[in-house]
Amino acid sequence: MKRIVYIFITLLCLSICMTTQVDAEDRAPTEYAVKAAFLYNFTKFVEWPEEALKGSDSLIICVFGENPFGNSLETTVEGNTAQSKPIKIIYSTDVSDIPNCHMLFITKRNKQHSDAVLMAVVDLPVLTVSDLPGFASDGGMIGFYFDNNRIRFEVNRQAANDLGLSFSSRLLKIARIVQEEE
């Protein structure tokens, strides 16, 4: 009888420990939840030219390609404002939607279309962001990368400045600065 009680108590303790571990994992932010928070914060630390925001009732964040965020982008951004405008999120795979964006996130799953997407905004003041490797070095404005299992970002100041966008010094302090390859 004592052995059965001992086994029961051991199994009960193990199940509690396993449940606690699973719950902790469920609460840990996913990669794209962290990236969603970065996107939201970029809206606060980037300045667009005045004419880029004029005539728009929202600051529009576009995600080009398959949505990797799940609902984390809506959860992070919903009901918030930036640049004195409510933030709106658009998911699209249509290049013709891109000129309406203020920020454009190109998913790494859409690598084959990234050049065409960047060409669609080549002369527009659209903040381009991606998690494609080398994105900022290749002409994008902000690129995500991993460093010691942490999500970091790099910025291409020249690409942004060429289109009238500027980064806050507070943003630049925590970013890795890259130069566009020629």
- Calpha distance 144→1 (Å, rounded): 59
Give me the pLDDT at residue 24, please.
41
Interacting residues of 155 by C-beta distance below 8 A, sequence separation 6+: 136, 141, 142, 143, 167, 171, 172, 175, 176, 177, 178
pLDDT in tens, 91-138: 998 888 888 899 999 988 766 667 778 888 889 999 999 999 999 998
Instruction: Work out the end-to-end distance of the chain between its first and last CA atoms, rounded to an integer number of angstroms.
Output: 78
Domain range summary for the chain, segments of one domain joined by +? 31-177
User: Which CATH number fits the domain 31-177, given the four candidates 3.30.300, 3.40.50, 3.30.1380, 3.30.200?
Assistant: 3.40.50
pLDDT tens profile 16-40: 444 334 444 455 689 999 999 999 9
Beta-strand ranges (E) seen in 44-102 are 46-47, 59-64, 81-82, 85-92
Q: What is the pLDDT of residues 52-70, one digit of tens each?
A: 998 889 999 999 988 999 9
Confidence of residue 5 (pLDDT cuts 50, 70, 90): very low
| 103-106 vs 142-147, strand pairing mode | unpaired
- More confidently predicted of 175 and 55: 175
Q: What percent of the chain has pLDDT over 90?
A: 62
